[in-house]
Amino acid sequence: MKKEFFAASLGAAALLMSSSVMAEDHQVQMLNKDSTGRTMQFEPAFIKIAPGDTITFVPTDKTHNSEALPGLIPENAEAWKGKINQEITVSFDEAGFYAYKCTPHLAMGMVGLVQVGEPMEDLDSAAVEKLPNKARERLTELVAEAESASEAP
Ligand SMILES: [Cu+2]
């Protein structure tokens, strides 16, 4: 009897750890050149994570930062703004899409996209339209990447 109880407790503990306690940290690097040869990039530029997870933006190369794009994160989510060359860890609690930029390289298309859980809404297309050309094009690519990832079996 005692043994069974112990096993059941272990099972419950494992369940708890896999949900809330074990929120995962992911890393996104800030780069002058990514592994495919694109200049001024986040890598991975698109990432899907679970609600409660964190992302650490790593200043692998200098002169970059990570800052939430206005109007392009979920309504109830908190915006973040890293300083240049600063390693910053951001937690993502609300499901949804979060687009962000490197402030000095926005016009060069240095943007990234985070998908948290299963978003109920798409990015605000009016806010996407306002971005500089290269940033809008890159973000559109990342949204397509998110869509094809969610269609995969
Ligand atoms: Cu940059």
* Residue 7 pLDDT: 53
* Residue 19 pLDDT: 53
Residue length of the chain = 153
Residue 92 neighbours by CB under 8 Å, 6+ apart: 49, 51, 52, 53, 54, 55, 77, 98, 114, 116
Ligand 1 centre and the CA of 132: distance in Å? 15
1, pLDDT greater than 50: no
Ligand 1 centre and the CA of 135: distance in Å? 12
Domain ranges of the chain: 23-151
Ligand 1 centre and the CA of 127: distance in Å? 20
147, pLDDT greater than 70: yes
* Residue 18 pLDDT: 52
What CATH number was assigned to the domain covering residues 23-151? 2.60.40.420
Average pLDDT for 14-40: 83
* Residues with CB in 5 Å of ion ligand 1: 64, 102, 105, 110
* Residue 22 pLDDT: 82
* Residue 128 pLDDT: 97
Percent of the chain with pLDDT over 90: 82
